[in-house]
Amino acid sequence: MFNREIISLAEQVVAECRRRKVMVCTVESCTGGLVAGALSEVAGASHALERGFVTYTNGAKSELVGVPPDLIHHHGAVSEAVARAMAEGGLSHSAAAVAVAVTGIAGPDGGSATKPVGLVHFATAVRDGAVRHSQQIFAGDRTAVRQASVAMALGLLLAALRGD
């Protein structure tokens, strides 16, 4: 189901969670739960994955993790502001110590001149700590964009757990 890179990253996240005795949560839009799915592929994931939110619609972003509708309206669902709010909302609606959020345009439709297909915003939030943002424009078809997004989200989650 997942390639070796994704499984390796998921194994590292689970191991780091177990070592630190903390749990994580995911707040996903364009990946549709694939980050949580990759983590749950690893034996022992119940010691690492507290919960996953699939917030595919704007309404779900607001209802499930408290992203203000005005923020979505002003910046768009695919934006730094919304990714940050998703990660913070994941923490406030879970017992996790670290959250990762993913929102983007996987394609093949939905892009624009300012927000092209392949644009993905990521955020990690650490309880009582920093919220960090990253963005990437991935090439390829919908599957390639989503797989690259899962790998990046897991890498960012691992970095947040390690305090990098």
Q: What is the pLDDT of residues 102-124, one digit of tens each?
A: 999 999 999 999 999 999 999 99
Contact 38, 2 (CB under 8 A): yes
Q: What is the mean pLDDT of the chain?
A: 97
Read off the pLDDT of each residue in 7-31 and give the average, rounded to a whole number: 98
Report field, pTM of the whole predicted structure over 0.85? yes
Q: pLDDT (tens digit, 9 = 90+) per residue, 31-77?
A: 999 999 999 999 999 999 999 999 999 999 999 999 999 999 999 99
Q: Is the dihedral of CA 68, 80, 123, 4 positive or negative?
A: positive
The pLDDT score that the predictor gives to residue 164 is 85
Contact 125, 131 (CB under 8 A): yes
Contact 99, 124 (CB under 8 A): yes
Contact 6, 37 (CB under 8 A): no
Q: Which H/E stretch holds residue 97?
A: none
